[in-house]
């Protein structure tokens, strides 16, 4: 049986670290502030936004939620972003994705001030990640790197295979692993011989969005398996990895729930702290 990488415990350690720094800022009368924009009432998005707000208040940060109706116009949404960009009590702005189809996600991301872009989705921040000179790292890939470090898993020289090429997870994940000297392969829906490539992975990251997509025959014995999936095929949360079978083959694995999910929120808190420090002239 594989070692279970405990995202709850590791994320708590990150939050404890962030909370200590927030307390120091509070003594200087600085309260990091996060604004979360949510459009419509997608149940999964509502759950994520609730968790983000609770994490802020537990760490002594200010947060506010802007809940906009499903049919909000692009102009109204951009006007809100502009207003939040100009407020000094708001250090971080996050617009929960995906947005309803009639809205242009790209122009909303572009409208968020790069200094307040705690998701690191703005092209300026994405570009900085490419060259390895960044303030913010995208929360999910950053959380995965943090988990690997906390579990004493060194990626240097390893073959890391990332399944999924999204801007939120797959692409930045590959880049962060590359920065740490991994040899990285990105697989996607058009990849030929997917199972064969996955079987070559020392570290396999599944960010596909399909329940139990990674089966035991796709995993090299002794590999590390990171499951980014959040699927609810029968209303029950499960990952992209067939946990019961894969955990018999691999050396370490992240569970769902209790794996990558809590890390994402902890890294968002870290980014909000970094934003507040930068905006107040603290390194």
Which chain residues interact with ligand GUN by CB under 6 A? 94-97, 119, 139-140, 168, 264
Q: Which is nearer to ligand GUN, 95 or 198 (CB)?
A: 95
User: What residues are annotated to the active site?
Assistant: 52, 96, 119
Q: Which is nearer to ligand GUN, 264 or 272 (CB)?
A: 264
| Closest alpha carbon to 231 in 44, 30, 6 | 44
- The least CB distance from residue 138 to ligand GUN, in Å, is 7
Please, what is the Cα angle at 153 between 221 and 262, to 5 degrees?
100
Whether the Cβ atoms of residue 62 and residue 31 lie closer than 8 Å to each other:
yes
Residue number, nearest CB to ligand GUN: 97
Helix/strand/coil for 25: helix
* Residue 213 tokens, joined: 């997509």
- The least CB distance from residue 119 to ligand GUN, in Å, is 5
Helix (H) or strand (E) holding 266: helix 260-279
- The least CB distance from residue 193 to ligand GUN, in Å, is 29
- The least CB distance from residue 245 to ligand GUN, in Å, is 27
Q: Which is nearer to ligand GUN, 11 or 140 (CB)?
A: 140
The alpha carbon torsion through 123, 125, 129, 131 (nearest 10 deg) reads 80
* Residue 279 tokens, joined: 């905006």
Residue 238 pairs in a beta bridge with 231
Q: Which is nearer to ligand GUN, 96 or 254 (CB)?
A: 96
């Amino acid at each position: 049986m594989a070692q279970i990488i405990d995202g709850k415990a590791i994320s708590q350690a990150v939050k404890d670290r962030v909370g200590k720094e927030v307390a120091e800022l509070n003594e200087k009368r600085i309260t990091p502030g996060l604004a979360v924009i949510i459009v419509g009432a997608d149940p999964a998005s509502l759950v994520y936004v609730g968790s983000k707000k609770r994490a802020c208040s537990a760490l002594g940060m200010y947060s506010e939620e802007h809940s906009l109706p499903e049919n909000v116009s692009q102009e109204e949404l951009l006007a809100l972003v502009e207003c939040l960009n100009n407020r000094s009590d708001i250090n971080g702005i996050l617009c929960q994705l995906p947005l309803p189809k009639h809205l242009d996600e790209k122009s909303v991301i572009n409208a968020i001030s790069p200094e307040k872009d705690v998701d690191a989705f703005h092209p300026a921040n994405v570009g900085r990640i490419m060259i390895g000179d960044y303030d913010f790292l995208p929360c999910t890939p950053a959380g995965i790197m943090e988990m690997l470090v906390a579990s004493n898993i060194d990626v240097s020289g390893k073959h890391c295979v990332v399944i999924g090429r999204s801007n939120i997870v797959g692409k930045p994940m590959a880049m962060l692993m590359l920065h740490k000297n991994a040899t990285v392969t990105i697989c996607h829906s058009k990849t030929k011989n997917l199972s064969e490539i996955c079987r070559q992975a020392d570290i396999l990251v599944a960010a596909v969005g399909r329940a139990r997509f990674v089966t035991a025959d796709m995993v090299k014995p002794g590999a590390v398996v990171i499951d980014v999936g959040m699927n609810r095929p029968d209303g029950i949360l499960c990952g992209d990895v067939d946990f019961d079978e894969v955990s018999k083959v691999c050396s370490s694995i992240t569970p769902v729930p209790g794996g990558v999910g809590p890390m994402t929120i902890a890294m968002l808190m870290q980014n909000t702290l970094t934003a507040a420090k930068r905006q107040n002239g603290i390194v």
